[in-house]
Amino acid sequence: MPGKKTEQKREPFSPGMRAAAEKILALLKKRYPTPHAHLNAASPWQLLTATVLSAQCTDERVNMVTPALFTRWPTVEAMALADQAEIETYIRSTGFYRNKAKHLLAAARRVRDVYAGRVPDSMRDLLTLPGVARKTASVVLFCAYGINEGLAVDTHVGRIAFRLGLASSRNPLKTEQELMDLFLREEWGNLNHRLVWFGRQICRARAPACPECEMVPFCNKNGLPT
């Protein structure tokens, strides 16, 4: 497409690329010294629920919906006994509410029946839950259990990684792998938080605030008009 930089095959990371990654991380840490989760939740189950609801929906909207939802069904066991149609009425404004309600009900029943009511703390087991893919699993593992087993790549993380040249592809799985290879494991969860905030406030999908961005001098601007 005219005006767009095309994706290129990534060669093995050079010392220069790793140095750039370290510089980007340092700048993100300076801008966001105390990263934190964006979804409000008081338990691993509530976090899993909120993260499932956040697909194709803003965190702000999810945080508006979940207080009533969690009051009505505060635990896995309560949700497992819910009526799907009633769940739908609580989450309608998050979009795709029928599929989300079906997944939440099935996930609650599986957590109750297979994992004794405790949301599992491994990627392998989380991925067996209906409606849970790697992004959701990575968020739950880090934010609920402090485990860095994956790096959640949402639209913000994927966009920024590609723009800065940290990722060679817009494919979330490839981007996740490249970021995990570039950054130390202990940084993965907080890197996600920092990139999400950066994507919302500065490196927006449309009209990025480049004049306010400390990364402009070395940003590849991949995917932006030249």
CB 131 within 8 A of CB 107: yes
- Here the tokens at position 105 are 């009900």
Asked about 121 being catalytic, the answer comes back as no
CB 150 within 8 A of CB 139: no
Contacts for 52 with CB less than 8 Å, ≥ 6 apart: 100, 103, 104, 107, 131, 132, 136
Contacts for 207 with CB less than 8 Å, ≥ 6 apart: none
CB neighbours of residue 92 within 10 Å: 13
Asked about 30 being catalytic, the answer comes back as no
Phi-psi sector, 221: left (phi>0), alpha (psi -120 to 50), beta: left
CB 119 within 8 A of CB 48: yes
Please identify which of the residues 4, 9, 113, 154 carries the catalytic annotation. Answer: 154
Please identify which of the residues 29, 59, 102, 135 carries the catalytic annotation. Answer: 135
CB neighbours of residue 167 within 10 Å: 26
Quote the CA–CA distance of 19 and 69 in Å, as a whole number.
45
List active site positions.
135, 154
